[in-house]
Structure 1
Amino acid sequence: MKLTSHRTSRRLRPRGLVAVGLAVASVAVLAACAPASTDGVVSAPSGSSSAAPDSGTTLADVQKAGKLVIGTEGTYKPFSFHADGSGQLTGYDIDVVTAVAEKLGVTPEFQETQWDAIFAGLDAGRFDLIANQVSINPERQAKYDFSTPYTVSHGVVIVPASNTDITSLASLSGKTTAQSQSSNWYQTAKDAGATVQVVDGWAQSIALLEQGRIDATVNDELTFLDYQKTDPSAAAAVKVGATTDDVSESAFTAVKGSDSLIKAIDQALAELKADGTLASISDKYFGSDVSE
C-alpha cells in the first residue's frame, strides 16, 4: 500500500487558491487579520498555543487555557473555507475538530494562515494543532505527532460514464489522461503507460474528459466525491473506472511531545466514530463516509 499526500495531489483545484507569490506576500497580513467566524467559534486575529515554550502541547495545557488553538487555511473547500453569504468558517476539517474540542471540554480557536506557512506557525507556537488535511508520511512523522486518521482516501481513475475499456490502472496503457504536472497523479498515469496531457488542475482535466478529448484522468477520491456533491448534474457524465493502490490518510498534527493531547484526541475521534458523528459529517460534505 502506497501512502500519498492529499495536500499535494489536490493542490491545484477549480476553486483557485491564492497564487504562491501572493501567498508569500500576504501571510503576515492574513495571520494578523483572520476573519471572525459567525457560528460562535472563535477565529482570533492573533494568539498562541497553550503549550509552554520549547515543549509539546499537553492535554493539561489545553484544558488550563480552556481552548484548543487550531491552524487552518480557511480557503480550502470543502475542508476549511468561509461559507457563501454568512462568511462563517466551516468545512469537513472544521466540523470534525470542533467536535473533538467539544469532547475535550474546550473552545476551538482558529488561526487562519496560508498552507505554505502552516507548519512554521505550528513550530513557532502560534497554535496547538493543524486541522487542514495534513497527510501522514514518514518525513512528517519524524518531526510531528499525529492523531489517528480522520480522512482516508484512495486514488481513482475517472472516465466517461459510458466507458467500458478502462477498468484498472493498467488499462491506461496507450490511453490519454490529463494531469497537473505538480501532482503525484501525473507520475501515476505516466507509470501506467498513459500519454499525459499537462493541465492546471482538476477543472481542466474534467472539462477535457467531458469534451471527449482525453480518455481518463487520475485524481484523489475526495476530489471526485466533492465534485459529485457540489455538481451532481455534471458529475453524472463521468464515473470511477478504477481505484489505484495509492492511499492517503490525513490526521491532526501537533509538535513532538504532545502525547497526552494526541491520546485525548484519539479517544475523542474513537467516540465520534462510534456514535456516528464522523460518518454524519462526512456525508454532509461528500455524500460518503471518508473517515475510514
Structure 2
Amino acid sequence: MNFKKTLLGAGLVLMSAASVAATSYKIGTEGGYPPWSMVDAAGTVTGFDADVGAALCAKLNADCQFVVQSFDSLIPSLSANRFDLIISGMSYTPERAKRVNFSTPYAVEDAIFILKADSEIIKADSAEAIFAGVAGKTIGVQGGTTHGAYLAKMAPKVKIKDYETLDQMQIDLDAGRLDGTFADLTSQSRFLKQMNNADFALTDTVIKGSSDPETLGYGIAVGIHKDNAELKQKVDNALCELIKDGTVKSASEKWFDIDIANYDACK
C-alpha cells in the first residue's frame, strides 16, 4: 500500500459526538507506525493516535478526516495548509517548534534499543555503555524522527540507516540486515513480541525522553499551523479535558498495555 497517498475515504472520517459538527479538520498522520498510527486494507486509520484524534474531534465538535503520508513530510504539508493538525506520535522538540506550533503534550514516551540477544550491551546498566557498544554497528531508525538525531548526537560512530516506515525497518532487522534498531519503547516492545525471534532482545536500559528534551522533545503533541493560535488554544483545552477524564489513559492502555498519558501537562 502507498502510504503517501492521501486517503479521504469514508472509513477515515471521524464524526463528532454532536449530530451536526460546527467545523471540519483534516489531520495529517503517517499510518505506518504501529501501534500509534496504522492504516488497514480498507483505508481505515487505527491506533492510539486515531483514538486520540477521534476523541479530540468530538470535544471540538468537529468532523475530521485523516490524511496519510510519510512522517517526514507532515510538517511541510501542515505549513502548506494541506491539513489543519498533525496527530502522529510526533515529539514536541525545539527544532520542530520553529516551524509549527505544538499543543500541550498529551503523552510521554521513552525509547529503547533492540539488539542481538547475545550482545554484551543488552544488560548494560547505562545509556553511555550502550552508545559505546553500538559504535561501528548499523542501527535502524525511522527517518524524520527524533531518534536518528539523538543517536547521531550520542553515538557519532554508529552507522545510522533511515527508513521511511517502522515496518520497513523491522523487516530488515528480522532479516538480519541490521545490528539493531532504536525507536519508541511501545513500538519496539510490540514488534519484538510479534517477531518471536530469540536472536534479538530489548536492552535493559531505557532511554528516558526527559533525559534530553532538546533532542528527544517534551512529549507527544498535536502539531498546529504557526498562524492558528485560536485552534491551538482549543486543542490545548480539549486535550487537558481528555487527560483529566481518563480518555487518553484508556486509549493508551488499549494499545500499549501501559498508561503514557501526560498528567503533568495540565496541572
Q: TM-score, normalised by structure 2?
A: 0.70
Deviation at 1:167, TM superposition (A): 1.5
Number of residue pairs matched? 236
- Which entry has the higher C-alpha Rg, 1 or 2? 1
Q: Which of 208, 221, 224 is matched with 2:185 structurally?
A: 221
Distance 1:140 1:175, change over 3 A: closer
Deviation at 1:143, TM superposition (A): 3.0
Deviation at 1:254, TM superposition (A): 1.2
Where does structure 1 lack aligned partners over 5 or more consecutive residues?
A: 1-16, 43-62
CA contact (8 A) 1:161 1:239 kept: no
**What's the counterpart of residue 140 of structure 1?**
96
**What's the counterpart of residue 261 of structure 1?**
231
* CA distance in structure 1 between the partners assigned to 2:37 and 2:240 by the alignment: 22
**What's the counterpart of residue 99 of structure 1?**
55
Deviation at 1:236, TM superposition (A): 10
C-alpha offsets along residues 224-271 of structure 1, whole Å, 9 cap, x if unaligned? 23325x628448962341123344422111112322222221222112
**What's the counterpart of residue 286 of structure 1?**
256
Other structure's SS at 2:9 match: coil
Distance 1:224 1:64, change over 3 A: closer
- Once the two structures are superposed, the pairs formed by residues 111-122 of structure 1 within 5 Å of their partners are 111-122=67-78
Q: Which amino acid aligns with 1:266?
A: D
**What's the counterpart of residue 149 of structure 2?**
184
**What's the counterpart of residue 166 of structure 2?**
none
Other structure's SS at 1:250 match: coil
- CA RMSD of the aligned region, Å? 3.6
Deviation at 1:80, TM superposition (A): 2.6
CA contact (8 A) 2:123 2:203 kept: no
CA contact (8 A) 2:92 2:102 kept: yes
Asked if residue 168 in structure 1 is aligned to residue 126 in structure 2, the reply is yes
CA contact (8 A) 2:75 2:100 kept: no
CA contact (8 A) 2:138 2:158 kept: yes
Q: TM-score, normalised by structure 1?
A: 0.65
Q: Which amino acid aligns with 1:241?
A: D
* CA distance in structure 2 between the partners assigned to 1:280 and 1:110 by the alignment: 21
C-alpha offsets along residues 193-228 of structure 1, whole Å, 9 cap, x if unaligned? xx746666444446659xxx96x7544323323325
Sequence identity (%) = 27
Q: Which amino acid aligns with 2:104?
A: T
Deviation at 1:36, TM superposition (A): 1.0
Distance 1:207 1:185, change over 3 A: farther
CA contact (8 A) 1:68 1:109 kept: yes
CA contact (8 A) 2:139 2:160 kept: yes
Where does structure 2 lack aligned partners over 5 or more consecutive residues?
A: 163-168, 263-267
Distance 1:100 1:87, change over 3 A: same
CA contact (8 A) 1:68 1:106 kept: yes
